Amino acid sequence: MNLRELEYLVALADQRNFHRAAAACGVSQPTLSAQIRKLEQELGVALFERAPRRLILTQAGEAAVRRARTVLDEVAQLRDEAARHSAGATRRLHLGVFPTLGPYLLPHVVPRFMRAFPATEILLTEEKSSILLRRLIDGQIDAVLLAMPVEDAHVTGRKLFSEPFRLAVPASHALAGRSPAPVDALASQNLMLLEEGHCLRDQALSLCRRYGAREYDDFRGTSLETLRQMVIAGMGVTLLPQLACTGHATSKDMALLPLESGDFRRDIGLFWRKTSGATDLMEQLAATITTVAGQLIGQGGAEAA
């Protein structure tokens, strides 16, 4: 058994297809198939149930994949540790972020971080929060930006900043001239929200229920830009994170209103595995994000005021 066979095993478990797994590993399909068979023979168990047109992990396979991910993660950390002691070596940080935050924050964070730490390479993955957390635990990425709270025994992290929400309404809406918007006015509103799986949807739904607003049942947005354009078209109102409002506060077609209650905000944190050997790098990244986000939110508050 060798590390390459474990990489093949994890890739096949992720892809559930020999052709795609082979492509991901940069080998031919026969090579990958042969190595998987060799691993099964060595372990004495079937790792996959080869059903027509699909692969299913056996119980033994699930256990083997968990162990393989742990081994590969430890090896990656070993290499990172060695790289940090190698003169002139480049450190790699694979960061995950969810879609309603990444486009509005990372373009401001990454260049500043790269200037401060030129020997660090940042790789980015944008996905929904539940997927990011699973990939972090599995060792596929090094750190993730998530809305708090995050409760998992495998990870640690810290709060970076608190981001207010803005109520987005068409310019012709009765609330458009009221800033801040009174929270009791939400009781008569139907809010357009994102589709299932977005953490922002869950946060907005919780606030809707607390203040008597209702979800607009006939619409599910796929992105914040979709929600924004629907508001501009006069189709309804929504809640937008303040960072996503930068540059839009003075739109003639839409009003972005702060709300009277301090409840309308989300806390953002940076999280990494407790076993990570790169805590110093995580703390440096966290400090950079906190500084940049504070500046952006401060500017946005002044713009909206």
Q: Identify the pLDDT of residue 88.
A: 56
Q: Identify the pLDDT of residue 247.
A: 66
Residue with more model confidence, 303 or 285: 285
* 248-274 pLDDT tens trace: 655 688 888 888 877 888 999 999 998
Tell me which CATH code domain 3-82 carries.
1.10.10.10
Residue 119 has pLDDT above 70, yes or no: yes
Residue of 119, 152, 135, 145 whose CA lies nearest to 72 = 135
How far apart, in whole angstroms, are the C-alpha atoms of residue 264 and residue 28? Answer: 52
CB 198 within 8 A of CB 266: no
Query: What stretch(es) of the chain map to CATH 1.10.10.10?
Result: 3-82
Token pair of 253, please?
A: 């077609």
* 165-176 pLDDT tens trace: 888 889 888 888
Residue 4 has pLDDT above 80, yes or no: yes
Q: Identify the pLDDT of residue 89.
A: 62
The second-level CATH assignment, the architecture, of 162-265 is 3-Layer(aba) Sandwich (3.40)
Residue 300 has pLDDT above 60, yes or no: no
User: Quick one: average pLDDT of 207-233?
Assistant: 81
User: Quick one: average pLDDT of 11-32?
Assistant: 90
Query: What stretch(es) of the chain map to CATH 3.40.190.10?
Result: 88-153+272-304, 162-265
**The residue type at 54:** R
Q: pLDDT > 90: what percent of the chain?
A: 38
Residue 73 has pLDDT above 90, yes or no: no
Q: Identify the pLDDT of residue 36.
A: 94
- Between the alpha carbon of residue 34 and those of residues 27, 39, 41, 290, 298, the distances in Å are 11, 9, 11, 49, 58
User: Quick one: average pLDDT of 126-142?
Assistant: 90
Task: Give 305's pLDDT tier (boundaries 50, 70, 90).
Answer: very low
Preceding peptide of 180 cis, ω within 30°: yes
Among 7-11, 48-52, 111-115, 216-220, which stretch is predicted with the lowest mean pLDDT? 216-220
User: Quick one: average pLDDT of 200-218?
Assistant: 77
Residue 61 has pLDDT above 60, yes or no: yes
What's the whole-model pTM score?
A: 0.69
Residue of 265, 75, 32 whose CA lies nearest to 164 = 265
Within 10 A of 149 (CB to CB), how many other CB atoms are there? 8
Distance, C-alpha 24 to centroid of its chain: 22
**The residue type at 304:** A
* 29-58 pLDDT tens trace: 999 999 999 999 999 999 999 888 788 899
Task: Classify 88-153+272-304 by CATH class.
Answer: alpha beta
Residue with more model confidence, 205 or 292: 292
How far apart, in whole angstroms, are the C-alpha atoms of residue 298 and residue 278? Answer: 30
User: Quick one: average pLDDT of 224-248?
Assistant: 85
Residue 198 has pLDDT above 90, yes or no: no
Q: Identify the pLDDT of residue 302.
A: 43
How far apart, in whole angstroms, are the C-alpha atoms of residue 186 and residue 175? Answer: 10
Strands 265-273 and 143-147: antiparallel
Residue with more model confidence, 137 or 198: 137
**Residue ranges of E strands in 139-263:** 143-147, 155-170, 190-194, 214-221, 238-241, 254-257
Q: What is the mean pLDDT of the chain?
A: 86
